[in-house]
Structure 1
């Protein structure tokens, strides 16, 4: 594997893409976690949480390596601050995945039956939104080659618009779920009610971070 310092010599975005690969490895564990939550498989939840924490740590090591080797003066089409902003948002994604996993270990989720289909949809759409955001990051080299213009720039703008719309859909679904919780989960003991509330919010936050990352890439295009 090329060192981070050598990757910067190839492209200012290659290290960010390497870091996003680590982040994606972490987040790719979430579907199995969601399934274990619904099945109330406490052993699987605990094991997946450990896996996510280890993968998040690996992503952190890559993040720190990038920060340590990012030159303070680069003749690049993108300023240092923008690269660090993107890195921070990618880091927030893996942090959020770990937070979701840790929350799931507190106790088994007692989700009202009437909420399960919407909860599954929230989890599914959150993952789809992340993968679309990752695809935007994978397009950064092509953006650089096109000088942040032309067909490639329009393609990325369209993807970012899709991310924004999907985040809106997820935000609306999250509100619907919380309303259902207050209506159908009023009988739950407070710890169960609170866990449902927190977990829905934590999953929704992953979509919000994905949208922020997409918007940060959009800013690169608008500044060109």
Structure 2
């Protein structure tokens, strides 16, 4: 990546790299919706196309992460440490990595979702993606917050955003419990190995929201320092 391009990524904002990367991450995980729609329809050709798209977008996010990490200035004259920025960057990247892992596992084993799970599972996926979108909304607010010296209405707004993120993550936990209970009720009708991998998919989808919440928690630590 050319130096001029790197400079444009940073711009005048010390959190510009995080915002740029998170936008890339969100683009990646949003593709899980059409992916799971294809899986539910057992349209494996379409699902594989979506899986490849997710892998490509994850690769783009990962490349951007490496470039930003490599070119992040050693010393930054700002109220946010370089270490904090790098930690948030890494946490964001794990969200895209998890999306790639989810799609890869399902395609690799052609995991079929029981019909009884379809509606709840799409709600589950949607809410987990919404958690990540909320983390993106919060990080896009950091510019204004820095301009106000980490105070005033902007701080209250960011805190409310993080609180909403926590609430969304809590909702995904409740949906996960409901889905796991539905799978448990049908375990005897399913292949034991497939059940094991289905539980893994359920857990990994939940990880998307957990990781998004950790991004929000890292913001809170940044503000507390």
TM-score (norm 2): 0.93
**Which residue of structure 1 lines up, in the alignment, with residue 167 of structure 2?**
165
SS of residue matched to 2:110: coil
Q: How many residues are treated as equivalent by the alignment?
A: 223
**Which residue of structure 2 lines up, in the alignment, with residue 64 of structure 1?**
66
**Which residue of structure 2 lines up, in the alignment, with residue 99 of structure 1?**
101
Tell me the distance in 2 between the aligned counterparts of 1:33 and 1:9. Answer: 35
C-alpha distance after superposition, 1:99-145 (max 9, x if no partner): 11111202333333332222122112112212111111111111111
Provide structure 2 residue ranges, at least 5 long, that are not aligned to the other structure.
Answer: none
Match of 1:73 among 41, 63, 75: 75
Structural mapping, 1:11-160, within 5 Å: 11-160=13-162
C-alpha distance after superposition, 1:150-173 (max 9, x if no partner): 101111100101111111111122
Contact 1:139 1:156 in 2 (8 A): yes
**Which residue of structure 2 lines up, in the alignment, with residue 193 of structure 1?**
195
Deviates more, 1:58-67 or 1:178-187: 178-187
Contact 2:166 2:213 in 1 (8 A): yes
C-alpha distance after superposition, 1:72-106 (max 9, x if no partner): 22211101111001101111111111111111202
SS of residue matched to 2:108: coil
**Which residue of structure 2 lines up, in the alignment, with residue 180 of structure 1?**
182
Contact 1:186 1:193 in 2 (8 A): no
State the 1:27 CA deviation: 1.3
State the 1:24 CA deviation: 1.6
State the 1:60 CA deviation: 1.1
Match of 1:213 among 212, 215, 220: 215
**Cα RMSD over matched residues?**
1.6
TM-score (norm 1): 0.93
SS of residue matched to 2:109: coil
**Which residue of structure 1 lines up, in the alignment, with residue 12 of structure 2?**
10
Note closer, same or farther for the CA distance 1:148–1:186 as it changes in structure 2 (3 Å cut). farther
Provide structure 1 residue ranges, at least 5 long, that are not aligned to the other structure.
Answer: none
